[in-house]
Amino acid sequence: MTSVRSGPVVCFGEVMLRFATPAGRVIADAQSLDLTIGGAEANVGVALVAMGHQARFVSKVPANALGDKARAALAGAGVEVQHFVRGAGESGGRMGLYFLEVGGSLRPSAITYDRAGSAFATAKPEEFDFAAALDGASLFHISGITAALGPGGVELARAAIKAARAAGVPVSFDCNFREKLWGAWDSNPREILLELLADATIMFGNHRDMTLLLQKPFSGDGAERRREAVEAAFTTFPNLQVMASTARHPITQTHHRLSARVDLREDRHQTTEIEITDIVDRVGSGDAFAAGVLTGWLEGGDARKMAELGLAMNALKHSLHGDWLRLPRSEVDNFTGNSGDVRR
């Protein structure tokens, strides 16, 4: 589909190796782990390409076979990777890892991070040519995960957003609050996120994020009552034009209820709640939602289009193993929220 906003979406963040246990196994008992490539911003880039848009990824990986694998996987998904930086030798760092213990029934999934000292976490802003990466871009996408990696991650996020603003490229920011990462160092997530969000045009966050940022409670129940948090966000961040979020109600590990909401300053849309059953893998579904909203934004859509595309991509991601949503655009456009028969 033709975009009314031409140019690639530039995504900046850490690409990671994901190791997942087989279903029904905890890490302590697992004899094998499934290896795939993941990472929040990479997930968004891959999904955008699947929807027919350009994505350019900026990151740093070590100069070894693991770094080469991550870069090749993104390139194979159609993401532009010419702005990857490769670290060499002992000072070049390592790949960031995360281990997914797949849940089942009433036992939730759990993630263990192993990211300290990674090539990306130890990178310096001056290693990246942000100006070149942002040349011709329609949007810059980043998440709060980069800042959560530590003081160096905060500097990376600051430098990247500053470069986007200098280039006149709108900023998309996913709060993606990760308590384990922020809690691993002497951090002040409220102060840092308030600073970074000040330059955002698009924000992915909900009433819980606004409660953290403004230290003020907001109701999460009901479509219109959630507007209070949205109005607070628009007041706090004058540059903000779009706020998007989902509401998830888990029944069991494989049965959730899900709805989506997108608010503009003069428009809003709350989807109906759908049932998602027989969940295969929910990790990355939030990134698929972000890619759906951004797809609608790139195509000049209103709040309804952004919310419906986001919900469809979020829901469909639950049917796929791994972090990535790679489905034909037609499958997303034809999504109804009901399971269907075999297509022949």
344 pLDDT more than 50: no
Residue 223: predicted pLDDT? 66
C-alpha–C-alpha distance, residues 339 and 344, integer Å = 15
Instruction: Note whether 149 and 192 are within 8 A (CB).
Output: no
Instruction: Note whether 109 and 283 are within 8 A (CB).
Output: yes
Tokens 């000292």 locate to 117
C-alpha–C-alpha distance, residues 201 and 171, integer Å = 5
C-alpha–C-alpha distance, residues 154 and 233, integer Å = 21
340 pLDDT more than 70: no
- Residue 21: helix, strand or coil by DSSP? coil
Domain boundaries, given as residue ranges, for the chain: 9-325
| Residue 274, beta-bridge partner list | 258
3-state DSSP percent of the chain in helix, strand and coil, to 5: 35, 25, 40
C-alpha–C-alpha distance, residues 109 and 26, integer Å = 9
| Residue 114, beta-bridge partner list | 97
Quick: pLDDT tens for 265-282: 999 999 999 999 999 999
Tokens 């011709």 locate to 136
On the 0-12 / 13-18 / 19+ scale of CB atoms within 10 A, 220 is middle
Residue 342: predicted pLDDT? 40
221 pLDDT more than 80: no
Q: Which CATH code is given to the segment(s) 9-325?
A: 3.40.1190.20
Quick: pLDDT tens for 71-124: 999 999 999 999 999 987 666 789 999 999 988 878 888 999 999 999 999 999
Phi-psi region of 235 (alpha: psi -120 to 50; beta: other; left: phi over 0): alpha
Average per-residue pLDDT for the chain: 92
Residue partners of 102: CB distance under 8 A and separation at least 6: 20, 21, 22, 23, 24, 25, 109, 281
Quick: pLDDT tens for 125-153: 999 999 999 999 999 999 999 999 999 99
C-alpha–C-alpha distance, residues 233 and 214, integer Å = 9
Which long-range contacts does 183-188 make (Cβ < 8 Å, 24+ apart)?
184/116, 184/150, 185/150, 185/151, 187/148, 187/150
Q: Of all helices (H) and strands (E), which one includes residue 261?
A: strand 255-264
Share of the chain above pLDDT 90, in %: 83
Residue partners of 78: CB distance under 8 A and separation at least 6: 46, 49, 50, 55
Pairing status of strand 60-62 against strand 55-58: unpaired
Quick: pLDDT tens for 27-50: 999 999 999 999 999 999 999 999
Tokens 């980043």 locate to 142
231 pLDDT more than 80: yes
The candidate with the shortest Cα–Cα distance to 233, out of 215, 199, 207, 261, is 207
